[in-house]
Amino acid sequence: MKKLLNRPDDVVRESLEGLALAHPDLLRVSFDPVYVARAGAPVSGKTGIISGGGSGHEPMHAGYVGRGMLDAACPGQVFTSPTPDQIEAATRAADGGRGVLHIVKNYTGDILNFEMAAELCQAAGIEVASVVINDDVAVEDSLYTAGRRGVGLTVLAEKISGAAAEQGWPLDRVAALCRRVNESGRSMGMALTPCTVPAAGKPNFELGPDEMEMGIGIHGEPGRARMPLATAAEIAAHMTEAILGDLPFRAGDRVIAMVNGMGGTPLLELYLVYRELERVLGGRSIAVARRLVGNYITSLEMAGCSITLLRAGDEMLSFWDAPVVTAGLRWGA
Amino acid sequence: MKKLLNRPDDVVRESLEGLALAHPDLLRVSFDPVYVARAGAPVSGKTGIISGGGSGHEPMHAGYVGRGMLDAACPGQVFTSPTPDQIEAATRAADGGRGVLHIVKNYTGDILNFEMAAELCQAAGIEVASVVINDDVAVEDSLYTAGRRGVGLTVLAEKISGAAAEQGWPLDRVAALCRRVNESGRSMGMALTPCTVPAAGKPNFELGPDEMEMGIGIHGEPGRARMPLATAAEIAAHMTEAILGDLPFRAGDRVIAMVNGMGGTPLLELYLVYRELERVLGGRSIAVARRLVGNYITSLEMAGCSITLLRAGDEMLSFWDAPVVTAGLRWGA
């Protein structure tokens, strides 16, 4: 295992210490239990928003803590759900008196632990609403998941819900908006290589030198098919058609599009995939209104990419454009 | 070779097409010859700034084209210098009537081609000044280089010079500032893995399973030593001490610090390295005034990192903080 670390057991804590040192203006990190809170949180009178999940997907979620996005994040160990006490502490840190939205990716461990934490918080008088993100069209059930997995759309849901909360929306409306994002978006990913969880010390699956995994999960869960390596044009067409057919998207739709790198893919290649994506969408008369190209929800050093499309009207676009100041996403301020 | 591409020969062009589609608000791409210009360039009455070099280091340089940084960039083929006609066209696109600064990384091919282009531009009546960046403390001469290589400090030089040009500074003062940045900063890198140039189809060097290359160049050029894999603390200490001793930096200095990923290193690990960097600097009473942690000057999918430190006073810090709106670096606007 070739990684920049000290002891595998200390990776998450030491990385979070680095995050705190690097962004004292944006966030603070607590270690017992572990959570990351926006500087100055809780913001009095604002609906709080938290998310969390296993580490190894950076910048998600701690990199999205800050103005206009998340009030707190609870990172678990690598590819491991955060514990209920972490989630509870993050919820308390985010509660400005108007309740807290939990944005939860659909993995069994995350769902159970967020539910348990929500009950604890509600018993303590904090209003909690939960939205489960399940945007991955690749497979219906999966390792760690009943139903569809939550992947790239989570980033878009956090941005858009975060903007609405920042503008003063109450919890029920922010939660409804977040649900609408989940209903209006779809994703799919693929991998060229596996990745290595530090504590495991060896790759999480194997791929032949001319193979790729189409429909990969963000923890290396199997996808739809192991296929011979194809061109970027073929890969983008395969994923995009699967996404478009599922919602379904229609001619005339406007979308927010994300081409996301899994962690080990050069930006040179991601922009090339974005070119292919726009070609497919153009052929279907779907207009890209906004886009992200880069590493936003990763799987350690896995090579590969995912595509997320969100059908967005004026309201979602205006929340998308609103200022955001986080380590991982920043514009307009 | 596992990459997201169509034909290896088309990677740079197709990636730039994607870049243009993704950032129509920031930049436009010309293809004959190939260069990337800021939207609305040339900006009349502003000192122009361009940079360029081989592709494969994204987001550098095209990702730094935009307000507050570069007016144009000329990307060569992967790890290959841009041609004089590319550089000349980029210079013309950047010239708002007050001349153009060439920021050139110290590689023999880049130096020769930028010099030739500068002569062509000056013959055509465009004032050109050139600053060569040579910040890499690892080796004195190298493959492709007489003297030291230009690496991570280039990003900081482009940001700071770009802010001065945006604020109306004339060419001679912007060039002098850029030279001062070069004199005040140092870098060093290391690699855990090689990378594969698409046209070559195989890794550019070999490393054993427990080896790392200390002092690596951004094209995989040999460094100071091939060493057994060490901890992040040891790696950060090794690189930081080499940098600090070289300038030399002194107790009481304030620095802009960059922990840069080579392309294939998870952000989780880069923040961990940043933690180690701050520990070393703290022990030497050097204060980090500003910092960047992420992938800013890459070597395709190489795993590894580099550290750049720039001694910065109030003026440089104020240019650092000035708004920048590019694909790769964005804040304050």
What ipTM, to 2 d.p.?
0.98
Judge: A15–B212 Cβ closer than 8 Å, yes or no.
no
Pairwise CB contact (< 8 Å): A298 & B266: yes
Q: Which residues lie closer than 8 Å to A185 by C-beta, 6 or more apart?
A: A135, A153, A156, A157, A247, A308, A309, A310, A311
pLDDT at A294: 98
Q: How far is residue B14's CA from residue B17's CA, in Å, rounded to a whole number?
A: 5
**CA atoms of B42 and A318, how far apart (whole Å):** 30
Q: What is the DSSP string of B35-56?
A: EEEETT-S-TTSPEEEEEEEES
pLDDT score of B143: 82
A134: which 2 tokens? 């399940």
Catalytic residue (one of B23, B61, B102, B219): B219
pLDDT at residue number A78: 98
The model's pLDDT over A125-142, given as tens digits with 9 standing for 90+, comes to 999 999 999 999 999 888
Catalytic residue positions of A, numbered: 57, 219
Of A292, A327, A264, the residue nearest A56 (C-alpha)? A264
pLDDT tens, position by position, A67-89: 999 999 999 999 999 999 999 99
Q: How far apart are CA A115 and CA A327, in angstroms?
A: 28
Residue A95 scores a pLDDT above 80: yes
Chain A / chain B CB contacts < 8 angstroms: 169
Residues 225-284 of A with CB under 8 A from B: 229, 231-233, 235, 263-276, 278
Residue of B nearest to A22 (CA): B291
Q: Of chain B residues 57-116, which have a CB less than 8 A from chain A?
A: 58-59, 63, 78
**Contact status, residue B286 vs residue B255, Cβ threshold 8 Å:** yes
Q: Which tens digit of pLDDT belongs to each residue from A181-195?
A: 999 999 999 999 999
Q: What pLDDT, on a 0 to 100 scale, did the predictor assign at position B98? A: 98
Average pLDDT over residues A224-233: 96
pLDDT for the residue numbered B11: 98
Distance (Å) from the alpha carbon of A307 to chain B's nearest alpha carbon: 13
Ramachandran class of A118: left when φ > 0, alpha when ψ lies in -120 to 50, beta otherwise:
alpha
Question: Which regions in chain B score pLDDT beneath 70?
Answer: none
If one looks up domain B12-184 in CATH, what number appears?
3.40.50.10440
Contacts of B11 in chain A (CB under 8 A): 268-269, 272
Residues A9-51 have pLDDT tens digits of 999 999 999 999 999 999 999 999 999 999 999 999 999 999 9
Q: Give me the pLDDT at residue B145, please.
A: 86
Shortest CA distance from A323: residue in chain B: B333
| Predicted local distance difference test score (pLDDT) of residue B142 | 83
Cα A49 from Cα A27, distance rounded (Å): 14
Give yes or no on whether A12-184 and A185-322 have one common fold. Answer: no
Pairwise CB contact (< 8 Å): A268 & B59: no
Q: What percent of chain A has pLDDT over 90?
A: 97
- Mean pLDDT of the region A226-236: 98
pLDDT in tens, A194-215: 999 999 999 999 999 999 999 9
pLDDT at residue number A36: 98
Q: Residues A149, A221: contact at Cβ < 8 Å?
A: yes
Greater model confidence, A145 or B24: B24
| Cα A228 to the center of its chain, rounded Å | 28
Contact B15 A272 (CB under 8 A): yes
Which pLDDT score is estimated for B61?
Answer: 97
Which one of A16, A231, A303 has the shortest CB-CB distance to B301? A303
Measured between CB atoms, which of B15, B266, B303 is closest to A58? B266
CA distance B125 to chain A (A): 35
Known catalytic residue: B61? no
State yes or no: pLDDT of A333 exceeds 80.
no
Q: Output the DSSP codes for A59-125.
A: TTTGGGBSBTSBSEEEEEEETSPPPHHHHHHHHHHH-SSS-EEEEEES-HHHHHHHHHHHHHHHHTT
Per-residue confidence (pLDDT) for residue A144, from 0 to 100: 85
> How far does A91 lie from chain B, in Å, by closest CA?
23
Mean pLDDT of chain B: 97
Report the residue of chain A nearest B196, measured CA to CA: A266
Q: How far apart are CA A209 and CA B322, in angstroms?
A: 46
Question: Where do the domains of chain A lie?
Answer: 12-184, 185-322
C-alpha A294: how far from chain center: 13
CB-CB: which of A2, A63, A273 is closest to B192? A2
The whole-number pLDDT of residue A297 equals 98
The confidence score (pLDDT) of residue A141 equals 85
B219 included as an active-site residue: yes
Residue B226 dihedral angles phi and psi, to the nearest 5°: -90, 125
What's the pLDDT score for residue A325?
98
Residues of B in contact with A272 (CB under 8 A): 4-6, 11, 14-15, 18
Q: What percent of chain A has pLDDT over 70?
A: 100
Q: For domain A185-322, is the CATH number 3.30.1180.20?
A: yes
CB contact under 8 Å between B269 and A15, yes or no, is yes
Residue A259 · residue B21 · CB < 8 Å = no
Ranges assigned E (strand) in B33-116: 34-38, 48-55, 72-78, 100-105
**Gap from A153 CA to chain B (nearest CA, Å):** 18
Q: Which chain A residues are Cβ-neighbours of B272 within 8 angstroms? A: 4-6, 11, 14-15, 18
Does residue A9 belong to the interface with chain B, where contact is any CB pair within 8 Å? no
State the Cα–Cα distance between residues A144 and A199, nearest whole angstrom: 18
